Chain A
Amino acid sequence: MAETTTSQPFGRSFTVVAKIRENARMQGLVLISPTIIYLALFLLLPLLLVVVLSVMTRGPYGNVVYRLNLQNYTRLIDPLYLRILGYSLTVAAFTTLVTILIGYPLAYYIARVPEVQRAPLLFLILVPFWTNFIIRIYAWIMLLRSEGLLNSLLINLGVIQIPMEILYTPTAVLIGMVYEFLPFMVLPLYTSLEKIENAQLEAAADLGARPWQAFLRITLPLSVPGMIAGSILVFIPAMGMFVVPDLMGGAKTVLVGNLIRNQFLTARDWPFGAAASMLLLLLTLVFTLFYTRKAGFGEELLL
């Protein structure tokens, strides 16, 4: 936006241009104002309210008393909550890692098939992603529960005698999370892998690089932006996720998302819930900045 102001009176024609430009500015403002007004009201103001709530006091009946109170934040250092936080970070990190491990070869494969096949293959990745995510969790509940299909299959095959308890364990949460977030990793990875010119790999081969060397020295570094975009798209929602732990983790798994939800809806301690939300927002921000610093905010993020 390094436009110079055109109000210098160099002559009549310039003032006309200035007027039109002023007019164009006005047009721009008119077009953007509904968005600004709407998001100020229903996005920024609510978020500001959370900031304010996070330093207020919980009243005796679960109401909010507007008296300054910083204890909501000091409470977060309690080992109980630190454990929840650590657990959320671990689950989110593990989910990110597994989606990379599964998704990278897949994205690589799609980027290498003939061009006509790529769109249908990507489409097939997208379909489940557009299907309601509770339905996708439900599909896994059907498979994993102790009287579920996986167990009855394994028992019938004689692999196991008693059903495995997978559902309502941390493992189930991870399975559910990976399944939910895999498309978020594959799509940005594909975007960056697809951009790599074949000439670069041929040049490496001409200079004597073996395929795996070319992969490590060229393909992998060049796909880092996609990996970072994918990590942001997986890690952040995974941290705030409370539905998968709710349905697949039983009462044993509590993530930050569950903590926030519980404070607002069951414990009715809104100030503390708000403080926990601020912490989650802060982590989100730190994570996003840390990664975008390294790779920029590329088009890979825009699915």
Chain B
Amino acid sequence: MSEKKPALWLRIWAIITYAYIYLPILILIIFSFNTQKLNVRWEGFTFHWYEVLFNDQEVMLATRNSLTVAAVSTTAATIIGTMAALALQRYRFPGYTLAESTLYIPVIIPEVVMGISLLAFFAQIGFTLGLGTITLAHIAFNIPFVTLVVRARLHGFDKAIEEAAMDLGANELTTFWRVTLPTIMPGVLSGALLAFTLSLDDYVITYFTAGPGSTTLPLRVFSMVRFAVTPEVNALSTLWVLTVFTLLLIGQLAQRRRV
């Protein structure tokens, strides 16, 4: 927009808004080190709640479940979604518009509707709800996001380098592996990162497609929060926030280097 300096009141407004965004999270983090169980007043510093957290079998199981679902669904969605991005960005084929609009559906429909539709569907075809159904559901909502991100990357892709490779005698497959894929790799990776985070984060769709014994981390956090406000949740939250922050920072820095 402009090089003119923003007005003072805007700067103040921005500071207040950032405080509003970060203060709750900051307080959450601080109180994860608090000795008092009731989480009301600051009493003293401790790592006790982290110890409690790491000895919490249910949390550990939920973490394992979440990571499994996220890894499998990210891999599948990244492969399928990247193929779709290539198809949509480079080819014209019958059903193009239909495919494109179908890809927008999971982005736009309310999550609760997608959740109940999958619940009804799995019940109808007799799938037992569990990690399998959660993974199938996560792949479905992750494909469009991967496609969106990879397509954006393909948008600025110079086809001439592929033609050059072909002119130099590479066949289509070699060209894809040696030229196309390395070029779009940053897009594919950020698509995968997005899918992984969305999967780790999802509560609503997981809630409807989970069965007994397939509790994921967000489901576990929900029941902990509902049950009581304990510093153990703070400790878990702190680790989660730090993980996300680190992942995002890596993603940002990686992207900046390629540009």
The distance in angstroms between the C-alpha atoms of A236 and B237, with both chains bound, is 27
Whether A34 sits at the interface, judged by CB under 8 Å, is yes
Which residues of A from 8 to 46 have beta carbons under 8 Å from B?
24-25, 27-29, 31-32, 34-36, 38-40, 42-46
Whether B116 sits at the interface, judged by CB under 8 Å, is yes
Q: A139, B116: Cβ atoms under 8 Å?
A: no
- On whether A135 and B28 interact (CB within 8 A), knowing A50-B120, A109-B10, A127-B244, the answer reads yes
**Chain A: how many interface residues by the 8 Å CB criterion?**
93
Q: A240, B92: Cβ atoms under 8 Å?
A: no
Q: B6, A130: Cβ atoms under 8 Å?
A: no
Whether B160 sits at the interface, judged by CB under 8 Å, is no
The distance in angstroms between the C-alpha atoms of A194 and B1, with both chains bound, is 5
Q: B111, A35: Cβ atoms under 8 Å?
A: no
Q: B83, A35: Cβ atoms under 8 Å?
A: yes
**Chain B contacts for A112, CB-based, 8 A:** 1-2, 4-6, 10
**Which secondary structure dominates chain A's binding surface?**
helix
User: What is the minimal beta-carbon distance from B63 to any residue of chain A, in angstroms?
Assistant: 12
Whether A108 sits at the interface, judged by CB under 8 Å, is yes
**Chain B: how many interface residues by the 8 Å CB criterion?**
90
Q: B1, A198: Cβ atoms under 8 Å?
A: yes
Picked from B97, B105, B226, the residue with its CB within 8 Å of the CB of A1 is B97
Q: Closest chain B residue to A190 by CB distance?
A: B1
Q: B40, A39: Cβ atoms under 8 Å?
A: no
User: What is the minimal beta-carbon distance from B37 to any residue of chain A, in angstroms?
Assistant: 12
Q: A42, B111: Cβ atoms under 8 Å?
A: no
**Chain B contacts for A240, CB-based, 8 A:** 110-113
Q: B112, A50: Cβ atoms under 8 Å?
A: no
- On whether A109 and B229 interact (CB within 8 A), knowing A142-B31, A142-B39, A198-B1, the answer reads no
Whether B11 sits at the interface, judged by CB under 8 Å, is yes
**Which secondary structure dominates chain B's binding surface?**
helix
- On whether A1 and B92 interact (CB within 8 A), knowing A35-B99, A46-B120, A133-B203, the answer reads yes
**Chain B contacts for A182, CB-based, 8 A:** 21
- On whether A102 and B17 interact (CB within 8 A), knowing A46-B121, A135-B237, A179-B24, the answer reads yes
Q: A242, B248: Cβ atoms under 8 Å?
A: no
The distance in angstroms between the C-alpha atoms of A24 and B102, with both chains bound, is 22
Q: B92, A31: Cβ atoms under 8 Å?
A: no
User: What is the minimal beta-carbon distance from B172 to any residue of chain A, in angstroms?
Assistant: 9
Whether A169 sits at the interface, judged by CB under 8 Å, is no
**Chain A contacts for B192, CB-based, 8 A:** none
The distance in angstroms between the C-alpha atoms of A76 and B4, with both chains bound, is 54
Q: B25, A136: Cβ atoms under 8 Å?
A: yes
The distance in angstroms between the C-alpha atoms of A9 and B14, with both chains bound, is 66
The distance in angstroms between the C-alpha atoms of A49 and B136, with both chains bound, is 17
Q: Closest chain A residue to B26 by CB distance?
A: A139
User: What is the minimal beta-carbon distance from B140 to any residue of chain A, in angstroms?
Assistant: 4
- On whether A236 and B110 interact (CB within 8 A), knowing A31-B83, A38-B140, A243-B203, the answer reads yes
Whether B108 sits at the interface, judged by CB under 8 Å, is yes
Q: B203, A134: Cβ atoms under 8 Å?
A: yes
The distance in angstroms between the C-alpha atoms of A111 and B252, with both chains bound, is 19
The distance in angstroms between the C-alpha atoms of A27 and B219, with both chains bound, is 41
Q: What would 18 A/B residue contacts be, using CB atoms closer than 8 Å?
A: A3-B92, A29-B87, A31-B83, A32-B91, A35-B102, A43-B102, A46-B120, A49-B117, A102-B17, A114-B3, A119-B256, A132-B217, A138-B28, A139-B24, A143-B24, A198-B3, A257-B112, A260-B113
Spell out A's residues near B (CB within 8 Å): 1, 3, 24-25, 27-29, 31-32, 34-36, 38-40, 42-47, 49-50, 53, 102-103, 105-106, 108-114, 119, 121, 123-128, 130-143, 145, 147-149, 152, 179, 182, 193-198, 201, 236-237, 239-243, 246-247, 257, 260-261, 264, 270, 273-274, 277, 280-281, 284, 288, 302
